[in-house]
A and B are shown apart, each in its own frame.
Chain A
Amino acid sequence: MTFRMKMLLPVICGLMLLAVSGCGSPVKPVDQIEVWHWMTDRHDVLEQLAKQYEQETGIKVKLELFAPSDAYTQKIIAAAQANVLPDIYGILDKKSIVAAFIKAGFVMDLTPAYQANNGAWEQSLFAKALETTRFAEGNASKVPPGFYGVPIDTSSIQMVYNKNLLKKAGIAKPPATFDEFILDIEALRRVGVTPFVSGFGEMWLLDCFASNYAFNIMGEQKVMQTLRGEVPYTDPDWIKVLTIFKTLRDKKAFIEGIVTKGNKYSEQDFALERAAFSFNGWWCVNVYKGMNPGLSYGVVPLPAMASPFPLKSWGGAGSWFVVNNTSRNKDKAVRFLQWLTAKEQQVFLSEKTLNLPANREAIRMIPPVLGDFAKAMDNMTHPTIWPVNEDPLVIEAFDKGLQAIIIGEKSPESVAQDVQAVKARQMAKAKK
């Protein structure tokens, strides 16, 4: 045997030893809860809370972070197939996928836990946040009705305004109605300030803006009737919704290139005081703090149109966890989530990460800007909780139509006809 071969042998033996060491069956301690999450910005704070929980109860909470969220989703799907899901995890996917996890027995029905002690846990959380985790009686996925998740924070999308720029234009307070908004836009233009920026290059944000006004102009019932195909998009109320974008365009409200702007760039514009108003989600508090800590801004709902119906904003549950129904630690996991969503922990989470708490009482003790985002919580809505959802091709036609109106390529009437044509085609396909 040559010297080189003699050198190779220990390497091969070492590799084999490593292989053997890897083949041991992993043993999970009983007094340990394993949580898999994707929230990079909340990991350190969750670690602190986990340590506190261990000190209080003796139960160790092992937090494992997998990011970005796409990689996390793949990990969860693979772990479900191999039946090695952790005690607590999140499903970052459509409700139909959540339903598939429930049907496969990987998600615990938390309804009894929520309703224990006269529903104390349920009542401590925002109903709109809980709604996202609920499957109602007779749901399309045929999942037994109940609550299947625990929201650890909430979401809200509102209008933010720059106090200094409004002052420069002589505007004393932010607009409450759409007419006031138009007057403010004119005042801002007179002093050379760009009135409005938003990430309208991202279809979902544009869709959200339009949806808020659709609820305001025609009410929830008529919006749902449209989604069911009972009311056409050429209805005068839908023309009114589309005309909002034409009016804003005619008044030169939008920043240049708004239909190609991603939300990150619109956040940059607002943070650097290049526009007076922006339509953005609660996360912007964190973003603006990073980009321009001295930015003076406030939060208001979108200025409503004169109508008997309230303007509803997209929001509700933010991040939410589920408990693994196959876990032998599932009761301990539920107790940990109850502790995590209690007022004290929610205030701590909110203060440290600048996210909106899921606990109702915590809302009074968080930073004022966040509190303003949370004010409208009872008036929130979201496509995930609607009884019926629009066909993706119709949504695409609608959002592209909005962009066409903003750049002056099409009129509201022609966009309405285009969208209705797609809707009719998709409905005919569905009937077949």
Chain B
Amino acid sequence: MNIFNSRYVLERVAKNTAVHIFLMAAAAACLLPLFWMIRSSLMSNATIFTDQALFPHEFNAGNYATAWVRGNFSVYFLNSVLYTVSVVAGIVMIASLAAFAFSRLRFPGRDVLFYMFVAAMMIPLPGSFVPLFVMMSKLHLTNSPLGYILCMINVGLPLSILLLKTFFDKMPQDLEDAARIDGCSRVQILWHVALPLARPAIAVIVMYNTLNVWNEFILANLLLNDKSLMPLQTGLMAFAGTHQVDYPVLMAGLTITAIPVVAVYVFMQKHIVKELWTGVLVG
């Protein structure tokens, strides 16, 4: 009996150890680039290629101030916040209305319209640059924050609609019927019943689109001209010249730009897990 017990304990310890080693390796693989970015941001141009130590021998925290000033981050940071909040709010609002309509309403051409939205996901963004620019130019929406916000909402809509529609499709019909008996209109059903249940999906949409908008700069470069309108990622380009890169300052800039995204990720991750369980229980 003792032999069996000890074998069982040994097997369990061995399994746990293997799993933990694997998870630690995976975590290290994810965290190492972040650590290396922060490490490099504290070095100088002279030491970044010579000092191979894990922790630099000389710290140069001034790179952060240099990045902030040279990259004009004070302006770009606010722009990025404005774009991210507006685009994410716009996507959540439009996608929830559209997904609810595709899921719960019966109207001619519903499926064709839905598949057109889904098909839009297959078109790579650079492939639509020229027609998009020409259209925005004709609408006088180039070099305007609104033009950029509308385009970014358009970019995020297909996947968001698909995610929410899938969620609304699974919502029991009884819930909708009960709400109707209580006198709810369709908009009220969406607002009071469907959206609270769809919080996990909305959390995913918010997180995905926040990352997407925060890290975007190609479309901004295309549609915007004035430096005062550019997002944060454009500021990083100041440190990467045609033939040379100011690596320590670039890394400091990257660290600054990564902080809000990591914060949103950490915050939303907790929210998703919490809401996922609530959703399961309610559903």
Contact = CB atoms under 8 A, between A and B. Distances in A.
Chains A and B form a bound pair: yes
Interface of A: 4, 18-19, 21-26, 36, 38-41, 43, 64-69, 71-72, 74-75, 77-79, 81-82, 84, 268, 271-272, 281, 283-284, 286-287, 290-293
Nearest to A269: B49
Interface string B245-266: 0100000000000000000000
Contacts of B221: 66-67, 71-72, 75
B237 A74 contact: no
B7 to A, nearest CB: 50
B11 to A, nearest CB: 46
B66 interface: no
Contacts, number: 98
Given A74-B129, A290-B45, A64 B144 contact: no
Interface in B147-203: 147, 191
Contact of A82 (B46, B50, B134): B134
B126 A74 contact: yes
A278 B136 CA distance: 48
Contact of B242 (A79, A283, A284): A283
A39 B238 CA distance: 9
Interface stretch (B13-21, B103-111, B222-230, B274-282): B222-230
B70 to A, nearest CB: 9
B227 A81 contact: no
Given A290-B246, A291-B49, A26 B140 contact: yes
Given A21-B146, A66-B221, A77-B130, A40 B240 contact: yes
- The 4 lowest CB-CB distance pairs between A and B, nearest first, are A41-B241, A283-B243, A78-B133, A82-B137
B37 interface: no
Contact of B222 (A4, A41, A64, A74): A74
Contact of A40 (B130, B133, B241): B241
24 contacts: A18-B146, A22-B140, A22-B141, A23-B139, A26-B140, A36-B225, A43-B238, A67-B221, A69-B242, A71-B217, A74-B218, A75-B133, A75-B221, A78-B133, A78-B134, A82-B134, A82-B142, A84-B142, A272-B49, A286-B244, A287-B244, A290-B244, A291-B46, A293-B46
A77 B130 CA distance: 7
A286 B137 contact: no
B84 interface: no
